[in-house]
Structure 1
């Protein structure tokens, strides 16, 4: 099984190499699509009635989401409603969503459309990552990477909070550590403060530890390998000899 920590570093590397600009959501969307080797994709938040497409890699990707809104069906809706991955071929003749497949085939041709939910818990999802790719079946590992990527994206998108909101009620020493670690992420990946903080939180979720634990590792131990950057060499004598 692919662990969350195995997905975060590759995602960060792709994100760091992205020079396309745009909002955090747009950059994350492009990074996810590239990581999964897809042709394009989109990120959406909210339920069917109030669903909002927050990012898309192209006009075609956004039209695919608009198409689902218009028809009231499709893989994004299914993944959100059932909190499970949905895998659809636009050339399928046995699908229960014939209207979507027919219209999507006219828009994209013969492609595989996969929708991965952003889970909050076992009972709820908050949005979806939907990508379209070549029609060939995906391997189990690739599907697991898609599932883990969507889970991490959900954390980042939902945790775009200010420093004070995130750190409210925590000891001031912890606040200092998180502020300092956020600065390291900003410098390393060249991303804004809010996005850097969200990435710290995503790494904490991936490792199942507190944010301050990740921050302490970055600031005090030089643990930046998860950012795709080498950890600094120990200073002479730092081992006490």
Structure 2
């Protein structure tokens, strides 16, 4: 039997998306293994979700510059021999050298319907704009912040009385479903990126896949 595909996970906080991946693996919904968990914050709660042998962390302030930290991180990630690298709430911007090293197999989850609301405070910005829908996106990582090709999205309605906190709380379980569904496609060899476009089973996607209520990813609208 071939070994399970390996996912390296980058984290900065509590690691709820990492936990979603771990649970999907344990329940047989995701044919993969976690190659390692890597953090820029040695006190990140996410690190405790895996055994010590799978943890790597370093404080970026202990390095002379961002490039030096990124190089150390990249070497540690590469040493875990991952098939895919997934940013699950990793809050540092990855430098171009890191991105190029793992190009085409580096994914990130972002809590907005990209290209809307790149960067931080996405829930508040969606409310301030009066959006009827909010959501999360999984995209390939490029050097420009949150600008890579979007593979898939999940959408939720914005309801009367929503605050940034309530909107975030309602979105998070859907984000977990999205992450596990996309990673299942990735580790099965069905997902790829070429020339800034996402390919599913070798065919170009002209709009992101959309996660439905049953947890299935299907082609989205072209609107």
Q: TM-score, normalised by structure 2?
A: 0.31
Name the structure where strand makes up a greater proportion of residues.
2
Structure-1-length-normalised TM-score: 0.29
- More helix per residue: 1
- Higher alpha-carbon Rg: 1
